[in-house]
Structure 1
Amino acid sequence: MRALIQRVSKACVSVDGETVGKIGAGLLILVCAMRGDDEGEAVQLASKIAKLRIFRDAADKMNRSILDTGGAALVVSQFTLAADTKRGNRPGFSEAASPDEGKHLYEFFAEQLQSHGIPVERGVFGADMAVELTNSGPVTIWMDSADRR
Structure 2
Amino acid sequence: MRAVVQRVKNASVKVDGELIGEIGRGIMLLLAVNVDDEDKDFNYIFSKILNLRIFDDEKGLMNKSLKDEGLELLVVSQFTLYGDGRKGNRPSYIKAAKAEKATYYYEKFIEEAKKEGIKTDHGKFGANMEVSLINDGPVTILLDSSKDF
Aligned mates of 2:120, 2:22 — CA distance in 1: 9
Q: Percent identity?
A: 45
Aligned mates of 2:89, 2:100 — CA distance in 1: 28
Aligned mates of 1:114, 1:87 — CA distance in 2: 40
Given residue 86 of structure 1, which amino acid in structure 2 is its aligned partner?
Answer: R
Find the counterpart in structure 1 of residue 28 from structure 2: 28
Aligned mates of 1:107, 1:82 — CA distance in 2: 19
Q: Deviations over 1:111-147 (max 9, x none)?
A: 2222322111010000000000000000000000011
Find the counterpart in structure 2 of residue 112 from structure 1: 112
Q: Deviations over 1:8-64 (max 9, x none)?
A: 000000000001100000000000000111233212211111111000111111010
Gaps of 5+ in 1: none
Gaps of 5+ in 2: none
Aligned mates of 1:19, 1:38 — CA distance in 2: 32
Aligned mates of 1:24, 1:18 — CA distance in 2: 18
Calculate the TM-score normalised by the size of structure 1: 0.95
**CA-atom RMSD in angstroms:** 1.1
Given residue 135 of structure 2, which amino acid in structure 1 is its aligned partner?
Answer: N
Aligned mates of 1:102, 1:7 — CA distance in 2: 24
Calculate the TM-score normalised by the size of structure 2: 0.95
Find the counterpart in structure 2 of residue 101 from structure 1: 101
